[in-house]
Structure 1
Amino acid sequence: FVADSFANEVKGKKGLARIVKATGYSIDGFKAAYKFEAAFRQVIWLNLLLFTVIIFMPFNVSAIMVLVIASFLSLIVELINTGIEASVDHTST
Protein backbone atom coordinates (compact mmCIF):
# COMPACT_ATOMS: atom_id res chain seq x y z
CA PHE A 1 0.00 0.00 0.00
CA VAL A 2 1.09 3.55 -0.66
CA ALA A 3 -0.35 4.70 2.68
CA ASP A 4 1.77 2.18 4.55
CA SER A 5 5.01 3.36 2.98
CA PHE A 6 4.16 7.01 3.67
CA ALA A 7 3.26 6.21 7.28
CA ASN A 8 6.51 4.31 7.74
CA GLU A 9 8.51 7.23 6.35
CA VAL A 10 6.83 9.67 8.70
CA LYS A 11 7.20 7.51 11.79
CA GLY A 12 11.00 7.52 11.71
CA LYS A 13 12.91 5.00 13.79
CA LYS A 14 12.22 1.26 13.73
CA GLY A 15 13.09 -1.71 15.89
CA LEU A 16 15.41 -1.26 18.84
CA ALA A 17 16.08 2.41 18.07
CA ARG A 18 12.35 3.11 18.36
CA ILE A 19 12.19 1.34 21.74
CA VAL A 20 15.18 3.31 22.99
CA LYS A 21 13.62 6.61 21.85
CA ALA A 22 10.26 5.71 23.39
CA THR A 23 11.97 4.84 26.69
CA GLY A 24 13.72 8.20 26.69
CA TYR A 25 10.43 10.00 26.07
CA SER A 26 8.79 8.05 28.90
CA ILE A 27 11.58 8.92 31.32
CA ASP A 28 11.28 12.58 30.32
CA GLY A 29 7.53 12.38 30.98
CA PHE A 30 8.05 10.90 34.46
CA LYS A 31 10.59 13.63 35.25
CA ALA A 32 8.17 16.34 34.11
CA ALA A 33 5.31 14.82 36.10
CA TYR A 34 7.48 14.69 39.22
CA LYS A 35 8.71 18.24 38.72
CA PHE A 36 5.38 19.92 37.94
CA GLU A 37 2.67 17.78 39.59
CA ALA A 38 2.40 17.85 43.38
CA ALA A 39 -0.16 15.01 43.45
CA PHE A 40 2.20 12.76 41.47
CA ARG A 41 5.02 13.50 43.93
CA GLN A 42 2.70 12.64 46.83
CA VAL A 43 1.73 9.33 45.25
CA ILE A 44 5.41 8.49 44.60
CA TRP A 45 6.37 9.16 48.22
CA LEU A 46 3.35 7.29 49.58
CA ASN A 47 4.23 4.30 47.40
CA LEU A 48 7.83 4.36 48.64
CA LEU A 49 6.49 4.37 52.19
CA LEU A 50 4.20 1.46 51.30
CA PHE A 51 7.11 -0.52 49.82
CA THR A 52 9.13 0.10 52.98
CA VAL A 53 6.27 -1.18 55.14
CA ILE A 54 5.86 -4.21 52.88
CA ILE A 55 9.52 -5.14 53.43
CA PHE A 56 9.19 -5.18 57.23
CA MET A 57 5.68 -6.61 57.61
CA PRO A 58 5.09 -10.37 57.44
CA PHE A 59 2.62 -10.40 54.53
CA ASN A 60 2.15 -13.44 52.33
CA VAL A 61 3.09 -13.23 48.66
CA SER A 62 -0.46 -12.70 47.39
CA ALA A 63 -1.03 -9.74 49.76
CA ILE A 64 2.28 -8.21 48.68
CA MET A 65 1.34 -8.55 45.01
CA VAL A 66 -2.06 -6.92 45.60
CA LEU A 67 -0.42 -3.99 47.39
CA VAL A 68 2.24 -3.53 44.71
CA ILE A 69 -0.30 -3.71 41.87
CA ALA A 70 -2.57 -1.23 43.66
CA SER A 71 0.32 1.17 44.14
CA PHE A 72 1.26 1.03 40.45
CA LEU A 73 -2.39 1.50 39.49
CA SER A 74 -2.52 4.63 41.63
CA LEU A 75 0.50 6.00 39.72
CA ILE A 76 -1.08 5.17 36.37
CA VAL A 77 -4.39 6.77 37.31
CA GLU A 78 -2.61 9.90 38.54
CA LEU A 79 -0.73 10.19 35.23
CA ILE A 80 -3.96 9.73 33.26
CA ASN A 81 -5.63 12.38 35.41
CA THR A 82 -2.69 14.75 34.82
CA GLY A 83 -2.95 14.19 31.06
CA ILE A 84 -6.68 14.91 31.08
CA GLU A 85 -6.17 18.05 33.16
CA ALA A 86 -3.41 19.27 30.85
CA SER A 87 -5.50 18.73 27.74
CA VAL A 88 -8.52 20.50 29.26
CA ASP A 89 -6.33 23.39 30.41
CA HIS A 90 -4.86 23.61 26.93
CA THR A 91 -8.21 23.73 25.13
CA SER A 92 -10.24 25.87 27.54
CA THR A 93 -9.80 29.31 29.06
Structure 2
Amino acid sequence: MTRTSPYKSTGGLIRVFRAFGYSLQGLAAAWRHEAAFRQETLLTAVLLPLGLWLGETPGEKLLLAGMLVGVLIVELINSAIEALADAISTEHHPLLGRAKDIGSAAVLLMLLLAGAAWACVLIPRWV
Protein backbone atom coordinates (compact mmCIF):
# COMPACT_ATOMS: atom_id res chain seq x y z
CA MET A 1 0.00 0.00 0.00
CA THR A 2 1.42 3.37 -1.04
CA ARG A 3 0.69 6.35 1.14
CA THR A 4 1.31 9.92 0.09
CA SER A 5 2.71 12.48 2.44
CA PRO A 6 0.14 14.89 3.89
CA TYR A 7 2.71 17.62 3.21
CA LYS A 8 2.84 16.92 -0.53
CA SER A 9 0.83 19.34 -2.65
CA THR A 10 -1.69 18.22 -5.21
CA GLY A 11 -0.92 20.66 -7.98
CA GLY A 12 -2.61 23.57 -9.68
CA LEU A 13 -1.81 27.23 -9.98
CA ILE A 14 -1.85 27.78 -6.22
CA ARG A 15 0.93 25.19 -5.90
CA VAL A 16 3.05 27.21 -8.35
CA PHE A 17 2.64 30.39 -6.29
CA ARG A 18 3.38 28.55 -3.05
CA ALA A 19 6.44 26.89 -4.58
CA PHE A 20 7.70 30.30 -5.70
CA GLY A 21 7.24 31.61 -2.17
CA TYR A 22 9.11 28.62 -0.71
CA SER A 23 11.92 29.24 -3.19
CA LEU A 24 12.19 32.86 -2.10
CA GLN A 25 12.25 31.71 1.54
CA GLY A 26 15.08 29.33 0.65
CA LEU A 27 17.10 32.10 -1.01
CA ALA A 28 16.53 34.35 2.01
CA ALA A 29 17.56 31.58 4.40
CA ALA A 30 20.71 30.88 2.40
CA TRP A 31 21.58 34.58 2.39
CA ARG A 32 20.92 34.87 6.13
CA HIS A 33 22.70 31.69 7.30
CA GLU A 34 25.36 30.82 4.70
CA ALA A 35 28.47 33.00 4.45
CA ALA A 36 29.69 31.14 1.35
CA PHE A 37 26.39 31.82 -0.43
CA ARG A 38 26.63 35.53 0.42
CA GLN A 39 30.22 35.69 -0.85
CA GLU A 40 29.38 33.87 -4.08
CA THR A 41 26.28 36.02 -4.60
CA LEU A 42 28.31 39.20 -4.22
CA LEU A 43 30.95 37.83 -6.59
CA THR A 44 28.18 37.02 -9.06
CA ALA A 45 26.78 40.55 -8.71
CA VAL A 46 30.18 41.90 -9.78
CA LEU A 47 31.04 39.33 -12.46
CA LEU A 48 27.62 38.93 -14.10
CA PRO A 49 27.54 42.42 -15.67
CA LEU A 50 31.20 42.01 -16.58
CA GLY A 51 30.49 38.68 -18.28
CA LEU A 52 27.56 40.12 -20.19
CA TRP A 53 29.77 42.98 -21.35
CA LEU A 54 32.81 40.84 -22.21
CA GLY A 55 30.91 38.04 -23.93
CA GLU A 56 30.86 38.74 -27.66
CA THR A 57 28.17 36.30 -28.76
CA PRO A 58 24.92 35.31 -27.09
CA GLY A 59 26.48 31.88 -26.47
CA GLU A 60 29.48 33.39 -24.69
CA LYS A 61 27.26 35.63 -22.59
CA LEU A 62 25.10 32.66 -21.63
CA LEU A 63 28.15 30.54 -20.79
CA LEU A 64 29.72 33.21 -18.59
CA ALA A 65 26.44 34.00 -16.81
CA GLY A 66 25.40 30.36 -16.60
CA MET A 67 28.62 29.35 -14.87
CA LEU A 68 28.00 31.96 -12.18
CA VAL A 69 24.43 30.83 -11.64
CA GLY A 70 25.66 27.23 -11.61
CA VAL A 71 27.98 28.05 -8.70
CA LEU A 72 25.04 29.49 -6.76
CA ILE A 73 22.87 26.44 -7.51
CA VAL A 74 25.52 23.98 -6.35
CA GLU A 75 26.17 26.09 -3.25
CA LEU A 76 22.43 26.03 -2.42
CA ILE A 77 22.38 22.24 -2.73
CA ASN A 78 25.50 21.96 -0.59
CA SER A 79 23.97 24.24 2.05
CA ALA A 80 20.79 22.14 2.06
CA ILE A 81 22.85 18.97 2.61
CA GLU A 82 24.75 20.62 5.44
CA ALA A 83 21.57 21.90 7.11
CA LEU A 84 19.95 18.49 6.86
CA ALA A 85 23.03 16.78 8.25
CA ASP A 86 23.16 19.23 11.18
CA ALA A 87 19.45 18.68 11.84
CA ILE A 88 20.08 14.95 12.11
CA SER A 89 23.03 15.31 14.47
CA THR A 90 25.71 17.85 15.31
CA GLU A 91 27.91 15.09 16.70
CA HIS A 92 30.54 13.61 14.42
CA HIS A 93 29.20 10.80 12.28
CA PRO A 94 31.27 9.43 9.39
CA LEU A 95 28.36 9.32 6.94
CA LEU A 96 27.19 12.84 7.75
CA GLY A 97 30.78 14.04 7.44
CA ARG A 98 31.08 12.27 4.10
CA ALA A 99 27.86 13.88 2.85
CA LYS A 100 29.13 17.32 3.82
CA ASP A 101 32.54 16.69 2.23
CA ILE A 102 30.93 15.47 -1.01
CA GLY A 103 28.72 18.56 -1.14
CA SER A 104 31.78 20.74 -0.62
CA ALA A 105 33.61 18.87 -3.38
CA ALA A 106 30.69 19.57 -5.73
CA VAL A 107 31.04 23.31 -5.04
CA LEU A 108 34.79 23.13 -5.64
CA LEU A 109 34.32 21.36 -8.98
CA MET A 110 31.70 23.90 -10.06
CA LEU A 111 34.01 26.77 -9.13
CA LEU A 112 36.84 25.17 -11.13
CA LEU A 113 34.51 24.63 -14.10
CA ALA A 114 33.32 28.23 -13.93
CA GLY A 115 36.90 29.50 -13.80
CA ALA A 116 37.88 27.29 -16.74
CA ALA A 117 34.90 28.48 -18.81
CA TRP A 118 35.72 32.12 -18.13
CA ALA A 119 39.37 31.48 -18.99
CA CYS A 120 38.46 29.72 -22.26
CA VAL A 121 36.34 32.66 -23.34
CA LEU A 122 38.54 35.52 -22.18
CA ILE A 123 42.20 34.42 -22.40
CA PRO A 124 42.29 34.03 -26.22
CA ARG A 125 41.35 37.71 -26.52
CA TRP A 126 44.40 38.86 -24.58
CA VAL A 127 46.97 36.34 -25.78
TM-score by length of 1: 0.80
1:82, distance to aligned residue in structure 2 (A): 0.3
- 1:30 and 1:52 map into 2 onto residues whose CA distance is 21
Give the letter aligned to residue 29 of structure 1. G
Say whether residues 1:34 and 2:18 are aligned partners: no
Match of 1:60 in 2: 57
- 2:64 and 2:55 map into 1 onto residues whose CA distance is 13
Match of 1:45 in 2: 42
RMSD: 2.1
- 1:71 and 1:55 map into 2 onto residues whose CA distance is 11
- 2:50 and 2:14 map into 1 onto residues whose CA distance is 39
> Which blocks of at least 5 consecutive residues in structure 1 are unaligned?
none
1:57, distance to aligned residue in structure 2 (A): 2.9
The 8 Å contact of residues 31 and 38 in structure 2, kept in 1 or not, is answered as yes
1:20, distance to aligned residue in structure 2 (A): 0.5
**Higher relative contact order at CA 8 Å, sep ≥6: structure 1 or structure 2?**
1
- 1:23 and 1:46 map into 2 onto residues whose CA distance is 24
Give the letter aligned to residue 34 of structure 1. W
TM-score by length of 2: 0.61
Identical positions, percent: 36
> Which blocks of at least 5 consecutive residues in structure 2 are unaligned?
92-127
